[in-house]
Amino acid sequence: MDFTSENTAPVHPAIVDAVVKANSGYATNFEAEAWTKRAYERLEDFFECELSAFTVLTGTAANAIALGAMVPPYGAILCHWDAHIETDECGAPEMFTFGARQIPLHGEHGKLDPGALETYLKEARFGVVHALQPATLSLTQLTEAGTAYTPTEISILTGIARRFGLSVHMDGARFANAVASLGATPAEATWKAGVDIITLGTTKSGTFGAETIVSFKPEFAKALAFSRKRSGHLAPKSRFLGAQIEAYVENDLWLKNARHANDAARRLSNGLAAVAGVQIVHPTEGNEVFASMPLAMTNQLINEGFKFHRDWRLHPRHNRFVMSWAASFDDIDALIDICKRPTVAQA
């Protein structure tokens, strides 16, 4: 009954199996082994293109290494006010870019507004040495509001960015959920829509911890490779990261996990929407439900053992419920039932 984050859920058994199986005999370290090689090949299938890929342990690392390769120290990163790189990485992008600045922009339901982006870029002082130079657009998919950019929406934003000379980064911590929800292919939701580098999350989708920086542009590969090592993110026993990525992509595990989590979210969202006093504050387009509910209802859920994120710093009374591959429909129904109880709903 822990809906705080996908990261509190157990690792998926198929991933555990893959890791245990990879532990047979000796294997060369630092990616000169078969697991990582296969994993990178599977990612080329997944994205239907040639690419360079770099596994790391955390999403913060993946984002920071990617941005470090894309943005000069005197550059600026344009992102949404609620983006993880802006709010929850303790300045990792600043560290890895050696001091580039993030420019947070607005947009409804976590989606960057094309108008806001264009206005900012039109007024940016390109070529003026007193001003940081916009270099990269960073999109989060799913957004921090649990919504999914459609390929068309991505194309519009990356088109604006491209017109002003910016490259495009996608923080894909919940990319699987987005793709499952959109019914688009991974290719359609990334490079075909103008994305240069995606940091592809799998940790939130059931692995022990394995994120991959995927670059669709060869010019970033050298900086990515050296920056990963230099920041201590190249795993000696790389086969165990490779094995996780391989298992994640094989047999559509990623898609099955994402669909289950999305179904769970829709079930919760639909259930809560029917409860008086509850408001679904963002469209449920992935595996997250954001609901505003009375304080008494929130407290009752906590008292009965439910865990979730009270995202109250930015939006008072907004509760975030995150569904993982392991989310139980029974738990969801139990949660909805509590909210529906007359004593709770009318408190």
Q: Does 131 engage in binding with a second copy (CB under 8 A)?
A: yes
Choosing from 35, 39, 52, 59, the residue that interacts with a second copy (CB under 8 A) is 59
Report residue 52: phi and psi, to 5°: -115, 140
Question: Least distance from C-beta 281 to a second copy, angstroms?
Answer: 19
Q: Which is nearer to a second copy, 103 or 280 (CB)?
A: 103
Q: Which two tokens stand for residue 331?
A: 């738990």
Query: Rounded distance, CA 89 to CA 284, Å?
Result: 25
Q: Does 70 engage in binding with a second copy (CB under 8 A)?
A: no
Choosing from 115, 165, 218, 232, the residue that interacts with a second copy (CB under 8 A) is 232
Q: Which is nearer to a second copy, 64 or 176 (CB)?
A: 64
Q: Does 34 engage in binding with a second copy (CB under 8 A)?
A: no
Q: Does 90 engage in binding with a second copy (CB under 8 A)?
A: yes
DSSP 29-72: STT-SHHHHHHHHHHHHHHTS--EEEEES-HHHHHHHHHHHH--
Q: Does 236 engage in binding with a second copy (CB under 8 A)?
A: yes
Q: Look up residue 200 and give its amino acid.
A: L
Question: Least distance from C-beta 303 to a second copy, angstroms?
Answer: 18
Q: Is 113 exposed, middle or buried (0-12, 13-18, 19+ CB in 10 A)?
A: middle
Q: Does 103 engage in binding with a second copy (CB under 8 A)?
A: no
Choosing from 37, 38, 101, 309, the residue that interacts with a second copy (CB under 8 A) is 101
Using the rule CB under 8 A, give the single segment among 25-33, 184-192, 250-258, 276-284 that binds a second copy: 25-33
Q: Which is nearer to a second copy, 125 or 163 (CB)?
A: 125
The DSSP secondary-structure symbol of 2 reads B
DSSP 274-308: TSTT-EE-S---SSEEEEE--HHHHHHHHHTT-B-
Per-residue string for binding with a second copy, 176-215, x by CB under 8 A? ---------------------------x----xx------
Choosing from 141, 181, 215, 227, the residue that interacts with a second copy (CB under 8 A) is 227
Choosing from 45, 98, 218, 276, the residue that interacts with a second copy (CB under 8 A) is 98
Q: Which is nearer to a second copy, 63 or 150 (CB)?
A: 63
Question: Closest by alpha carbon to 98, among 139, 134, 70?
Answer: 70
Q: Going by C-beta distance under 8 Å and a sequence separation of 6 or more, which residues neighbour residue 221?
A: 52, 215
Choosing from 130, 303, 330, 343, the residue that interacts with a second copy (CB under 8 A) is 130
Choosing from 115, 230, 274, 337, the residue that interacts with a second copy (CB under 8 A) is 230
Q: Which is nearer to a second copy, 91 or 276 (CB)?
A: 91
Report residue 330: phi and psi, to 5°: -65, -45
Q: Are 210 and 241 in contact (CB under 8 A)?
A: yes
Longest dimension (CA), the chain: 63
